[in-house]
Chain A
Amino acid sequence: NAGVTQTPKFQVLKTGQSMTLQCAQDMNHNSMYWYRQDPGMGLRLIYYSASEGTTDKGEVPNGYNVSRLNKREFSLRLESAAPSQTSVYFCASSAESYLPLHFGNGTRLTVT
């Protein structure tokens, strides 16, 4: 049982490049989330999907788009990367939106 799997683990981009961060969960959870973690800032919610077919903005959605591809997969896309998007990105899921989150191990993204 892998839980929440994120790919890639590490990525370096140049300013203006695009990329998609992948996330998949095998726990049949309804809700999925994308957070970013910056030093001294804790975790901030980028986007979330309460259930398959729905997505909503979190605290810091600018510069990102998401796709809930199916119940298992929730991807995060950076259309034109900026140095301010250098961060560690975490995907999480929960059985229902009011239950505890299960996190992946993160994607460490550097934008130069």
Chain B
Amino acid sequence: SQQGEEDPQALSIQEGENATMNCSYKTSINNLQWYRQNSGRGLVHLILIRSNEREKHSGRLRVTLDTSKKSSSLLITASRAADTASYFCATDAGSGNTGKLIFGQGTTLQVKP
């Protein structure tokens, strides 16, 4: 079963606009991670937010976590064509930092130049 559910499944925006992707999960977690996947490639880690953190920034990325709602969002500001990719959230399912990440189905982002 999938721990993370992402919304929307697909998103198309113009270059320069902001992109927001949401992730909901079902059980308690130790941390939540976001990954990017370019077409035909492996996933690349973007950012990790721990369960006791509410917001984290990395460059043009901003991640929020609301453990009461069991949800997270990834905001990409001032998007670029190179941001075109699929984005996945992943949780550790709260099983004592085993590293057994459970991934959502992903959001496919298209940034039009």
Residues of A within 8 A of B (CB): 4, 31, 33, 35, 40-45, 48, 50, 58-59, 90, 92, 94, 96-106
Q: Which listed residue, B33, B41, B105, touches A42 by the CB 8 Å rule?
A: B105
A50 in contact with B98 given A42-B2, A43-B43, A98-B92 (CB within 8 Å): yes
Residue of A with least CB distance to B44: A103
A100–chain B nearest beta-carbon distance, Å: 4
Q: Which listed residue, A59, A90, A96, A98, touches B42 by the CB 8 Å rule?
A: A90
Interface magnitude class on chain B = 20 to 34
Interface pairs (6), CB distance under 8 Å: A33-B99, A33-B101, A35-B103, A41-B2, A94-B99, A103-B44
Interface of B is mostly: loop
Q: Which listed residue, B33, B97, B102, B105, touches A100 by the CB 8 Å rule?
A: B33
Q: Which listed residue, A40, A94, A98, A101, touches B30 by the CB 8 Å rule?
A: A98
B93–chain A nearest beta-carbon distance, Å: 10
A31:B99 contact, CB within 8 angstroms: yes
